[in-house]
Amino acid sequence: MTKSNNIRDYFLVFLVFGYSIYSHFTLQKELYLLAVFILSIYITLKTKLKFNKIIILSTIYLLVIGLTQTLIFGAGKISTILYNIAVLLYFPFFILVIVGMKSLRLFSNIITFFALVSIVFWILTNLSSDFYQWTQHLALSIPAPYFSEKNEQFFFYTYESATAMGLIRNPGPTTEPGNWAVFLILSLIINLITQARLLSTKNIILLFALITTFSSAGYLGLFVLFSYFIVFSRFNILAKFIVIPVSIYVFMLLYTSLEFMEEKLESKIENEITTELSEGSGRIKGALRSWNVVKTYPLTGRGFVSATKADPKKEAAFYPGYGFPALAAKIGLVGFIFYFSFIIISLNKLNIRHSQRRFTFILFALLALFIQLFSQSIYTAPIFVMIFLSKPIMTAKMIYPAIGSRNRSKGVSFPFYAKDKY
């Protein structure tokens, strides 16, 4: 690959990262549409574009869902439906076509770079009050998005006021530490699949950054991943009888002693189950509200078109939360199952191509991710949609080698990281 193609690919994958985390990116509809248009023109000029069955079926499904919701609730516009489909499906799809399957590795590299930067900022923020105030002033100097009174993100990092264990938490460049933990866990999973090494330099950086988020869900997800390596390690039976109980003891000790684990989780759960469903918010309430929508509209869902969402004041019990169960409420059960099924299939296919870990690893990895996504709204961020759409890219008869690669003209499969250096 030429240097210019490498720069192009990193730039395009950075757009995936940017549109996943930066509020200023995601709120600019015109920029989103412009990006989709430019990418489509670029691909048209460079190659003969083919649309696989997944992208076609997804487009038809979302179009039908959007139109049905518009008819049922008498709200919404066709232009909004088309916009949602364009940014949700075709923006990540076009980048996947251009860059190829190495998109995931490049995304992980970008996350690792920002993780290293976030560690430096986190250390300086906790050591120097002047530096901490400087991050606040820098963030405030940037205009805030329309839904917020003030801006906190400044590209490399985010001003954070929340603390844990007497330390300011690490939000990375994302909106908050819990959000940052999702991308760190995802990158860790990608590395474990493509590298097959737990303690590589990149993974150590990701692990340290994850620890500094002090995210309850992040720590639980990390425990799930470590559990796989403990249970399915190459230790003999006698060693496992020692290692497994010790690991459980250490986890329980951390769980009960860290203020952002047992104390935080139990207080939140108690608050959510002792108040009315229509009052407040939270992981459990969000999931129950999503379930209310699914029970009422199991096939069509409600809320893919924002104008069809329930009024949070009048129908609070039908206003879904931020977690991944809300996707079932927005696009119906069929779309929900289809989406996450192909994420599982794609990750497992990638796993078979590289690390050849047992399918159990994918189940542990997904459990770690779902713990993160239970309270985050980024389950349809471009990087997750790219994984959803990547299965045909890894199929020999439906392959799109990266534009500019030597394999494109020959029509053979892309060398899945075979020549990539880590």
pLDDT at 398 (0 to 100)? 38
Distance of alpha carbon 60 from alpha carbon 9, whole angstroms: 29
Closest by Cα among 364, 378, 339, 382 to 93: 382
d(CA 120, CA 310): 43
The better pLDDT of the pair 304, 322 is held by 304
Q: What pLDDT score does 330 carry?
A: 92
Whether the predicted pLDDT of 411 surpasses 80: no
pLDDT tier for residue 243 given thresholds of 50, 70 and 90: confident
Beta bridge pairs of residue 80: none
What is the mean predicted confidence (pLDDT) over 137-156? 72
What's the confidence (pLDDT) of residue 299?
A: 92
Q: Identify whether the C-beta of residue 218 lies closer than 8 Å to the C-beta of residue 210.
A: yes
Task: Say which residue, 45 or 28, is predicted with more confidence.
Answer: 45
For 247-276, the pLDDT digits (tens) are 777 777 777 777 767 667 677 776 666 666
pLDDT given for residue 395 in this prediction? 58
pLDDT of residue 414 exceeding 50, the answer is no
Q: Which carries the bigger pLDDT value, residue 220 or residue 233?
A: 220
Work out the angle between the directed axes of helices 325-353 and 283-296 (0-180°, nearest 10).
100
Across the range 86-99, mean pLDDT stands at 87
User: Residue 417: which pLDDT band, with cuts at 50, 70 and 90?
Assistant: very low
Whether pLDDT at 180 is above 80:
yes
Mean pLDDT comparison of 85-89, 234-238, 245-249, highest-scoring range: 85-89
The candidate with the shortest Cα–Cα distance to 400, out of 388, 385, 384, 416, is: 416
Spell out a b/e string for 46-55, using b for 16 or more CB atoms within 10 Å of the CB, else e: ebeeeebebb
Residues whose CB falls within 8 Å of the CB of residue 68, separated by 6 or more in sequence, listed in order: 300
- CA 114 to CA 119: how far, in whole Å? 9
pLDDT of residue 313 exceeding 90, the answer is no
What is the band of 402 on the pLDDT scale with cuts at 50, 70, 90?
very low
Using the predicted structure, report yes or no on whether residue 337 has a pLDDT greater than 80.
Answer: yes
- The alpha helices in 156-307, defined as continuous H runs, are 177-194, 201-211, 216-231, 237-257, 264-273, 283-296
What pLDDT score does 5 carry? 80
The percent of residues above 90 in pLDDT, for the chain, comes to: 27
Summarize pLDDT for 168-178 with one digit per residue, the tens.
Answer: 999 999 888 98
User: CA 193, CA 420: separation in Å to the nearest integer?
Assistant: 14
pLDDT at residue 277, as a whole number: 66
Instruction: Give the span between the Cα atoms of 224 and 226, in whole angstroms.
Output: 6
CA distances, 204 to each of 59, 196, 197 (Å): 39, 14, 11
Report whether pLDDT(344) > 60: yes
Residue 202 to residue 192: CA distance in whole angstroms: 10
Interval 43-51 mean pLDDT: 71
Lowest-pLDDT choice from 80-94, 214-228, 275-289, 394-408: 394-408
For the whole model, what pTM was predicted?
0.85
338-351 burial: b if 16+ Cβ within 10 Å, else e: bbbebbbbbbbbbb
pLDDT above 90 (res 181): yes
The mean pLDDT value for 284-303 works out to 88
Predicted local distance difference test score (pLDDT) of residue 64: 94
Chain-wide mean pLDDT for the chain? Answer: 80
Please indicate whether residue 222 or residue 408 has the higher confidence score (pLDDT): 222
Q: Is residue 213 predicted with pLDDT exceeding 90? A: yes
Q: What percent of the chain lies above the pLDDT cut of 70?
A: 79
Residue 320 confidence (pLDDT): 82
| pLDDT exceeds 70 at position 421 | no
Dist. CA 259–CA 255, nearest whole Å:
8
CA-CA-CA-CA torsion for 258, 207, 102, 98, nearest 10 degrees?
50
* 236 has a pLDDT exceeding 90: no
Residue 1's pLDDT band (boundaries 50, 70, 90)?
low
Q: What confidence tens digit (pLDDT) does each residue in 103-138 have?
A: 899 999 999 999 999 999 999 999 999 999 998 888
